[in-house]
Chain A
Amino acid sequence: MVNAYRFIKSRDKIMRGVFMFCAAFSVLALGCICVFLFVNGIPFINRVGVSNFFGTRWHLSGASYGILSMIAASLYVTALSTAIGVSVGLLTAISLYKFCPKKVVPPIRQMINLLAGIPSVIYGLFGLITIVPFLRERVSPNGVGYGILAASLVLSVMILPTIVSVSLDALNAVPKSYYEGALALGATKEQSVFKVMLPAAKSGILAAVVLSIGRAVGETMAVIMVIGGSPVMPKSLFQSVRTMTANIAMGATELLGDAKTALVSTGVVLFFFALLLNVSFSLLKGGEKRENKSSQKKGA
């Protein structure tokens, strides 16, 4: 009997260790990712020169590894797609919040959740077979369908589900009493929603924006299929350009040696962007929690 107990106790300790290792695995993995990226990517930037690496010329035969044009393209695409996606997505969330028959909201939400799971390559394919030809034939002044506009449109559709569901959650988290209070003061339904509820949900909505910026800047497959891929400074919406993610994916299977290392260094830059967005996201989340807490206190 006593021995059995000793066994149980040591088993408890062992399992605790096992679970702890599992939990520490994430930390370990993150550490490995940082080390591998930095050790392989940063010395290369030093070797070819910071001004070369952050220059505008990407000429592999001439040992020019400038990714400035790609950073620019990434930023343009991200900004444009977020602008489109956030405005449409936020309007959608607002309609679902108060301006829709209550019965249709759950099925629409479910559908949007389902759409959030669609592979990004499908969005790329959609862009390739519909948006690019449409832009080329109907919109583009120069007969080019590929480029920043095509990529931004594809991405804005892709990030829609995220924006809608996160900002709808943020709106739903605002205490109902605010809405009733506004109505009691004689505001119309529309005024209460836009002037009271929307500002009250602003940090949650901002979190949705940051989240979708993160998805847009890091997205590869949906972009690569509609962006064209020329490593040049973007000057027009209808021009083949290359984002950082596209640069990595396009060279992935073909390049060797220094050129491949240049891709790793591009990844390091991308990683920094992602970290930056991560930090701002958690700050915003913290802000939202604090706000909700203080509003609950006021409510009580």
Chain B
Amino acid sequence: MDNKFNMTVKNCDLYYGDFHALKNVSMDIDEHEVTALIGPSGCGKSTFIRIFNRMNDLVEGCRVTGDIRIGGRNIFDKSTDVPLLRKNVGMVFQKPNPFPMSVYDNIAFAPRTFGMGGIKKRRELDAVVERSLKQAGLWDEVKDRLRKNAMGLSGGQQQRLCIARALAAEPKILLMDEPTSALDPISTGIIEDLINELKVNYTIVIVTHNMQQATRISDKTAFFLLGEVVEYGSTEEVFTKPQNKKTENYITGRFG
């Protein structure tokens, strides 16, 4: 893949069987920016970000049309290497989903998939694990329990573990699907700070229900409604002077 990792979506439609879930969506997302996707439940935000790492491939009867490019390359091209795509486009899910194995093995999962590991590279792997955990701000809390089962961590720690796990694959883009909706306010704060640090190195697309969160962390905001992008622009503009009446209604809390 190229060194550029900007994402462009043109005229994208997505269907689950007969259900038309995304309607003619177009959006350009630049590198090193945090883009927040807001909108009521079921409006297609999560479906939309799952296009970029082709997670929708796993859904039976899901069909995507349109032109979706990362760094200029069509990711739905036949020659696309889907595992490599997913390595470059990391994902953090709504509910923390650490694997029921040790903290270390969780972080080392992707590096091992892509050929790291073995006795020789043991040190390298240790370094990756440490670096990823530090990036996710979790290192100090778990450095003494790397060999313990990850299921023993608190919810907030688990979610940061999942972020660290995604970072260990050395992605360029990070997709986050409501990463704080299952967490308490303190953990949420920690993760928001983390996102602000990470955007220096990564392109982040985050789905959120929480509009304050969108204003706190994002550079750009897209408002989704019933599978369409109603408004997309800099976060400040979308929240202070929305162009569309529907956006205004939503962000002022009149519906949704």
Contact = CB atoms under 8 A, between A and B. Distances in A.
Contacts of B81: 5
Contacts of B118: none
Interface in B74-125: 81, 83-84, 115
Interface in B138-187: none
A100 interface: no
Contacts of A1: 115
Nearest to A12: B83
A24 interface: no
A4 B83 CA distance: 12
6 contacts: A1-B115, A4-B115, A5-B81, A5-B83, A5-B84, A8-B83
B111 to A, nearest CB: 13
Interface of B: 81, 83-84, 115
Nearest to A5: B81
Contacts of A8: 83
Contacts of B115: 1, 4
Contacts of A5: 81, 83-84
Q: Which 6 A-B pairs have the closest CB atoms?
A: A4-B115, A5-B81, A5-B84, A5-B83, A8-B83, A1-B115
Contacts of A4: 115
B205 to A, nearest CB: 26
A8 B115 CA distance: 11
Contacts of B83: 5, 8
Interface in A1-45: 1, 4-5, 8
B256 to A, nearest CB: 25
B243 to A, nearest CB: 41
Nearest to B81: A5
A8 B112 CA distance: 13
A5 B84 CA distance: 9
A123 B115 CA distance: 57
A295 B141 CA distance: 51
B144 to A, nearest CB: 34
A11 to B, nearest CB: 12
A8 B114 CA distance: 10
B87 to A, nearest CB: 11
Interface string A80-103: 000000000000000000000000
B98 to A, nearest CB: 24
A1 B115 CA distance: 9
A285 B81 CA distance: 44
A91 to B, nearest CB: 44
A19 B14 CA distance: 32
Nearest to A8: B83
Contacts of B84: 5
A293 B232 CA distance: 44
A5 B113 CA distance: 10
A81 B14 CA distance: 59
Nearest to A2: B81
A1 B84 CA distance: 10
B22 to A, nearest CB: 28
A293 B83 CA distance: 39
Interface in A199-224: none
A1 B81 CA distance: 12
Nearest to A4: B115
A43 to B, nearest CB: 47
A139 B81 CA distance: 79
A4 B81 CA distance: 12
B171 to A, nearest CB: 16
Interface string A261-289: 00000000000000000000000000000
Interface in A37-76: none
A131 B153 CA distance: 59
A201 B83 CA distance: 49
A5 B81 CA distance: 9
A295 B123 CA distance: 60
A4 B115 CA distance: 8
A8 B113 CA distance: 10
A8 B83 CA distance: 10
B10 to A, nearest CB: 28
A5 B115 CA distance: 10
A4 B116 CA distance: 12
A8 B86 CA distance: 15
A1 B1 CA distance: 13
A10 to B, nearest CB: 14
A3 to B, nearest CB: 11
A8 B84 CA distance: 12
A5 B83 CA distance: 9
A92 to B, nearest CB: 39
A25 to B, nearest CB: 26
